[in-house]
């Protein structure tokens, strides 16, 4: 899969890297398994839980629309390439069950 075809892993989110404005960032899951599972729960993807699914979340990304400014190391630069999330960050915004419709950036 090329980077440009990446889709946000959050349940109900239809943001693709190649269809969103450039300022939408796509964040890889954390390296730590417990934190990955925490992300998976927050984005309503219980199918990603469990050690056997490691390969799936290794390639999964979550778009920046689910992260508030406070979860970025440099909130002012949250739209810049290479911007980093705080080590403790997890997705909290625009998630399934808060929304009646699938989510899209545009
Ligand atoms: Zn998303």
**DSSP per residue, 43-101:** TT-GGG-SGGGHHHHHS-EEEGGGS-GGGBSSGGGTTSTT--B-TT----SS-TTS-SS
The CA 51 to ligand 1 mean position distance, Å, reads 23
Note whether residue 33 is domain-resident. Answer: yes
The CA 63 to ligand 1 mean position distance, Å, reads 4
Note whether residue 71 is domain-resident. Answer: yes
Note whether residue 37 is domain-resident. Answer: yes
20-31 per-residue burial string, b: 16 or more CB within 10 A, e: under 16: beeebbbbebbe
pLDDT digits (tens, 9 = 90+) for 39-98: 999 999 999 998 899 888 888 999 999 999 999 999 999 999 889 999 999 999 999 988
Look at the chain and report how many structural domains it folds into.
Answer: 1
The CA 23 to ligand 1 mean position distance, Å, reads 13
Mean per-residue pLDDT, 4-23: 90
Domain residues for 34? Answer: 3-77
Note whether residue 97 is domain-resident. Answer: no
Note whether residue 86 is domain-resident. Answer: no
The CA 52 to ligand 1 mean position distance, Å, reads 24
The CA 8 to ligand 1 mean position distance, Å, reads 5
pTM above 0.85, yes or no: yes
Coil, strand or helix: which one is 37?
A: helix
């Amino acid at each position: 899969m090329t980077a440009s075809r990446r889709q946000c892993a959050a349940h109900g989110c239809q943001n693709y890297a190649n269809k969103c404005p450039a300022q939408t960032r796509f964040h890889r899951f954390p390296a730590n398994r417990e934190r990955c599972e925490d992300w998976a729960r927050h984005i309503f993807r219980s199918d990603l839980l469990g050690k056997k699914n490691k390969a799936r979340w290794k390639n999964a990304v979550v778009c920046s629309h689910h992260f508030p400014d406070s979860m970025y190391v440099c909130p002012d630069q949250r739209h810049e390439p290479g911007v980093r999330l705080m080590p403790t960050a997890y997705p909290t915004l625009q998630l399934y069950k808060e929304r009646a419709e699938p989510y899209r950036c545009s």
